[in-house]
């Protein structure tokens, strides 16, 4: 029977080894951070990141926080200006996530950023920091709970959430902070609070000399809806079984019952119909088709259920967004 496996921090060396081993194999691992437990995967491996959404039953691909072991690693993945550097130096390791421009050549998978041009970076303390250091790459991790439920603050909470999954859980004891990190967006000369947490606006102002603005509710609740969110330039048509002449075709699965003859170019999300592979390929394939500048990107039906819901949600958003453009 599938069930979670808890490894404890008093055997730190073994726990770190086991976690790094699982992460290298492309698996998710539950990690203890000072805020809440995270459900982590290699941030550069799209299929591994897709497993996070699948495990959480998350209906949408909202961006994930990218956890780093130190400032050097942060600077490989994000572009930190003077203000974000001051924040990182003052509050890391710790419960602060800093949203900065993503380094476009960093290799972080675009499922992590949800196709945004920014990335949320955080350096957690303790055991998780050592795991990331050993792994040598950042970990994408949302809170380790099923979608719509509260975050887990102990290894046992995580095990209760994911009862029937083969999930490695690294037990670091109860989380010190217990609520999710403060999220601040650092722009050229502004700081915008996206989510309040234990590190306060006042503390950040003291560290940077910049007054912290509060984000509009839209920005907090729906980062996936922000203007900068990725949507193709081409018009999109969903649920297509007969590809219109000259369209770029975002295919799914085999060609049975479908007419692909009109396609100028076909990119298949997953030949075998694997939703995890499809999720990992989604942004990449959409971008590749869009770069050919077709009038239309036609999308074949993707089945609902599990990761299919998240993929369909994201496609619907992309189609709706460029309708409004
Ligand atoms: O304490 C925490 O932050 C925990 C631990 C595991 O690190 N993580 C956590 O992740 O709370 P999650 O996925 O439950 O919440 C992350 C929030 C989401 O609301 C997401 O939209 C936002 O961070 N976020 C991530 N990257 C962003 C970006 N580039 N721009 C705006 N919001 C971003
Ligand atoms: Mg959460």
Shortest-distance Cα residue to atom 12 of ligand 1: 142
pLDDT value of residue 52: 96
- Any atom of ligand 1 within 6 Å of the Cβ of 63: yes
CA of 58 to the centre of ligand 1 (A): 13
Contacting residues for 209 by C-beta, under 8 A, at least 6 apart: none
- Please report which ligand is nearest the Cα atom of 161: 2
State which residues have CB under 5 angstroms from ligand 2, the bound ion: 143
**Could you give the CA distance from residue 101 to residue 103 in angstroms, rounded to a whole number?**
6
Please state the atom number of ligand 1 nearest to the C-alpha of residue 144: 6
Instruction: Classify domain 5-214 at the CATH class level.
Output: alpha beta
pLDDT value of residue 281: 81
Distances (CA, A) of 86 to 80, 90, 111, 205, 217: 9, 6, 28, 11, 26
Q: Among the residues of the chain, which ranges form H helices?
A: 12-24, 46-56, 71-77, 82-91, 110-113, 126-135, 155-161, 201-208, 217-221, 275-290, 307-324
DSSP per position, 88-100: HHHH-SSSEEEEE
pLDDT value of residue 10: 67
Name the β-bridge partners of 214. Answer: 193
Distances (CA, A) of 290 to 176, 232, 287: 45, 6, 5
Contacting residues for 125 by C-beta, under 8 A, at least 6 apart: 33, 34, 93, 94
Q: Among the residues of 25-63, which ranges form H helices?
A: 46-56
Please state the atom number of ligand 1 nearest to the C-alpha of residue 180: 1
- Any atom of ligand 1 within 6 Å of the Cβ of 30: no
Pocket test for ligand 1, best of 180, 191, 192 (most atoms within 8 A of CB): 180
Instruction: Note down pLDDT in tens along the chain; length 325 residues.
Output: 789 999 987 666 789 999 999 999 999 999 999 999 999 999 999 999 999 999 998 777 789 999 999 999 999 999 999 999 999 999 999 999 999 999 989 999 999 998 889 999 999 998 999 999 999 999 999 999 988 778 888 999 899 999 999 999 999 998 888 888 999 999 988 999 988 888 888 899 999 999 999 876 555 444 444 433 457 889 999 999 999 999 999 999 999 999 999 999 999 999 999 988 888 788 778 878 998 999 999 999 999 887 788 788 778 877 875 543 3
- Any atom of ligand 1 within 6 Å of the Cβ of 183: yes
CATH tag for 235-322 (out of 3.40.1440.60, 1.10.12.10, 3.40.50.11030, 3.40.50.1240): 3.40.50.11030
Distances (CA, A) of 232 to 35, 293, 314, 323: 36, 9, 12, 10
pLDDT value of residue 279: 80
- Any atom of ligand 1 within 6 Å of the Cβ of 115: no
Among 87, 176, 78, 90, which residue's Cα sits nearest to residue 127?
176
pLDDT value of residue 224: 44
Among 165, 159, 204, 166, which residue's Cα sits nearest to residue 186?
204
Where in the chain are the domains? 5-214, 235-322
Distances (CA, A) of 73 to 19, 78, 79, 90: 19, 9, 11, 16
Name the β-bridge partners of 298. Answer: 237, 249
Within 13 Å of residue 2, how many CA atoms lie on the same side as its CB?
A: 7
CATH topology agreement for domains 5-214 and 235-322: no
pLDDT value of residue 219: 55
Pairing of strands 38-42, 29-31: antiparallel
- Any atom of ligand 1 within 6 Å of the Cβ of 172: no
- Any atom of ligand 1 within 6 Å of the Cβ of 225: no
- Any atom of ligand 1 within 6 Å of the Cβ of 125: no
Helix or strand or coil: residue 48?
A: helix
- Any atom of ligand 1 within 6 Å of the Cβ of 97: yes
């Amino acid at each position: 029977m599938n069930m979670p496996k808890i490894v404890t921090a008093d055997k730190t060396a073994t726990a770190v080894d086991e976690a790094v081993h699982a992460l290298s194999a492309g698996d998710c691992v539950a990690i203890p951070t000072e805020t809440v437990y995270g459900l982590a995967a290699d941030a550069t491996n799209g299929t591994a990141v897709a497993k996070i959404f699948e495990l959480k039953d998350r209906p949408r691909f909202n961006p994930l926080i990218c956890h780093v072991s130190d400032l050097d690693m942060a600077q490989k993945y994000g572009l930190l200006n003077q203000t974000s550097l001051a924040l990182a130096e003052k509050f890391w390791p710790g419960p602060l996530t800093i949203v900065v421009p993503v380094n476009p050549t960093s290799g972080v998978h675009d499922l992590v950023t949800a196709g945004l041009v920014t990335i949320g970076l955080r350096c957690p303390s303790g055991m998780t920091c050592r795991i990331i250091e050993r792994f040598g790459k950042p970990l994408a991790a949302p809170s380790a709970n099923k979608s719509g439920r509260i975050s887990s603050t102990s290894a046992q909470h995580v095990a209760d959430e994911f009862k029937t999954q083969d999930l490695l859980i690294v037990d670091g004891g109860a989380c010190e902070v217990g609520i999710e990190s403060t999220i601040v967006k650092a722009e050229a000369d502004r700081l915008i609070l996206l989510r309040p947490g234990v590190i306060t606006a006042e503390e950040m102002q003291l560290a940077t000399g910049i007054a912290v603005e509060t984000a509009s509710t839209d920005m907090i609740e729906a980062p996936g809806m922000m203007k900068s969110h990725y949507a193709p330039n081409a018009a999109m048509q969903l649920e297509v079984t007969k590809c219109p002449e000259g369209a770029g075709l975002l295919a799914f699965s085999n060609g049975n019952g479908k007419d692909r003859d009109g396609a100028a170019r076909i990119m298949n999300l997953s030949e075998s119909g694997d939703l995890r592979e499809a999720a990992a390929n989604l942004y990449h394939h959409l971008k590749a088709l869009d770069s050919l500048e077709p009038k239309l990107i036609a999308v074949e039906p993707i089945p609902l259920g599990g990761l299919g819901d998240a993929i369909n949600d994201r496609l619907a958003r992309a189609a709706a967004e460029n309708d409004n453009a």
